[in-house]
Amino acid sequence: MSLNSSCLSKNYFSKPRVQFCFIFLLWMLLLPVRSLFASPIDGIVGKISQTDYTGYVEDLQDFQTRYYTTQGNLDALKYIRDTFFGFGLDVSYDLFTYNGNSYNNVVATLPGKTHPEQVYIVGAHMDSTTFSNPTASAPGADDNASGMAAVLEMARAMVGYAFDATIKFFGFNLEEQGLRGSQAYAAKAKASGEQVLGMLNFDMIAYPGNSGAKNVFLAGDPNLVNAMEGNRLKYTNLTTTLNYSNLYGSDHYYFHSSFFPGSSSAFAIEAAPSSIPSHNPNYHQTTDTTAYLDFAYATDITRMGVATLAGLAGVIPEPSTLFCFLLGGLLLMVGSHGKKPQ
């Protein structure tokens, strides 16, 4: 917002301009009052863009395959790293070994302002596979470009806001080989005493099916499942199926409180209301492409996720509230002083 300096010029103090200035100043002075009712989380959720989200899914699909042994996997890692970096985040590769070979997750960090030692993780697996031809064709649009794009879009929306705790945005590798990347990081964090207080995982979130129901399945530690459920109600028109157990099958698993004391984890996945998660017929097929996805549905799940993450990490209200209050007061004083009799 920029101020029109002509508002304060004595030469232009005609009556409509005075009225405009006073309305503007009143608006400024009321900002702190308005801020009491508008959560910064609303602002973060409002930044989530279906267009940007869709672009990330398409870009990840375009690597043809992100299977762990391929150049496509390395190129996708670099794409994710560069995208996080483009948001202004610190980003690095996180090395781990599997079967004697070295691989990387990718992680971007938004340091906490009040308790930087406390960490919340949001993650998704960036690798893909197919039953028939994983080294040549594994577009993995739903599994799991859809989850990785959610993590990228959450990062984009949260940059520029301050949080009490540190947030780490992860692209996990080798999930399709048995949760290898997330298992390695959870073990490392646990061994080093990192205070991972919560981990949210997104895996296959863009195929609601043909029933017309837009249902999301939320499972894991009750505190996180219930937090997501609250934001699902507040920010989306989705329906949910809730489950409070630690289901194997994706990257939240080793961050669950039963494996990692002090931590907690939960995940979101597409689901028909009456079915188990993941009813996508293209699962691990070369046909898992954007043609079958519902981006509005996936964007809603992303909104639910970012609101939950922002709440957990403790978003700090913007200092601009105080600044605007002081500036508004100052301008009111100057304006009153400079007003000529008509």
Shortest distance, position 145 Cβ to Zn ion, whole Å: 10
Instruction: Considering only the stretches 35-43, 53-61, 142-150, 254-262, report the one whose residues sit in contact with Zn ion under the rule CB under 5 A.
Output: 142-150
Interface residue with Zn ion among 61, 128, 129, 144 (CB under 5 A) is: 144
Shortest distance, position 30 Cβ to Zn ion, whole Å: 48
The dihedrals phi and psi of 32, each to the nearest 5 degrees, come to: -60, -35
CB 137 within 8 A of CB 286: yes
How many residues of this chain interact with Zn ion, rule: CB under 5 A? 3
Shortest distance, position 147 Cβ to Zn ion, whole Å: 7
Q: Which is nearer to Zn ion, 142 or 221 (CB)?
A: 142
Q: Which is nearer to Zn ion, 25 or 174 (CB)?
A: 174
If you write DSSP's letter for every residue of 126-143 in order, what string do you get? -----SS-TTT-B--III
Shortest distance, position 93 Cβ to Zn ion, whole Å: 21
Instruction: Considering only the stretches 9-17, 144-152, 253-261, 289-297, report the one whose residues sit in contact with Zn ion under the rule CB under 5 A.
Output: 144-152
Instruction: Considering only the stretches 129-137, 141-149, 191-199, 209-217, report the one whose residues sit in contact with Zn ion under the rule CB under 5 A.
Output: 141-149
Q: How far apart are CA 153 and CA 150, in angstroms?
A: 5
Shortest distance, position 143 Cβ to Zn ion, whole Å: 4
CB 300 within 8 A of CB 237: yes
Q: What's the token pair of residue 112?
A: 């906490």
Q: How far apart are CA 246 and CA 179, in angstroms?
A: 14
Q: Which is nearer to Zn ion, 161 or 253 (CB)?
A: 253
Is 215 an interacting residue with respect to Zn ion (CB under 5 A)? no
Q: What's the token pair of residue 179?
A: 């949760």
Q: What's the token pair of residue 250?
A: 């994706």
Is 229 an interacting residue with respect to Zn ion (CB under 5 A)? no
Interface residue with Zn ion among 94, 143, 229, 300 (CB under 5 A) is: 143
Site string (185-214) toward Zn ion, x via CB under 5 A: ------------------x-----------
Q: Which is nearer to Zn ion, 94 or 203 (CB)?
A: 203
Shortest distance, position 96 Cβ to Zn ion, whole Å: 18
Q: How far apart are CA 304 and CA 291, in angstroms?
A: 24
Shortest distance, position 4 Cβ to Zn ion, whole Å: 53
Instruction: Give alpha helix (H) positions in 38-138.
Output: 40-47, 50-61, 71-86
Residue type, 1: M
Strands (E), the chain: 90-98, 101-110, 115-125, 162-163, 165-172, 195-202, 215-220, 239-243, 265-270, 315-316
Q: CA nearest 312: which of 300, 304, 321?
A: 304
Instruction: Considering only the stretches 4-12, 66-74, 138-146, 184-192, report the one whose residues sit in contact with Zn ion under the rule CB under 5 A.
Output: 138-146
Question: Degrees (nearest 5) of the Cα angle 57, 59, 65?
Answer: 90
Instruction: Considering only the stretches 16-24, 139-147, 228-236, 312-320, report the one whose residues sit in contact with Zn ion under the rule CB under 5 A.
Output: 139-147
Q: What's the token pair of residue 206?
A: 């863009």
Q: Which is nearer to Zn ion, 120 or 253 (CB)?
A: 253
Shortest distance, position 278 Cβ to Zn ion, whole Å: 8
Residues forming the site for Zn ion (CB under 5 A): 143-144, 203
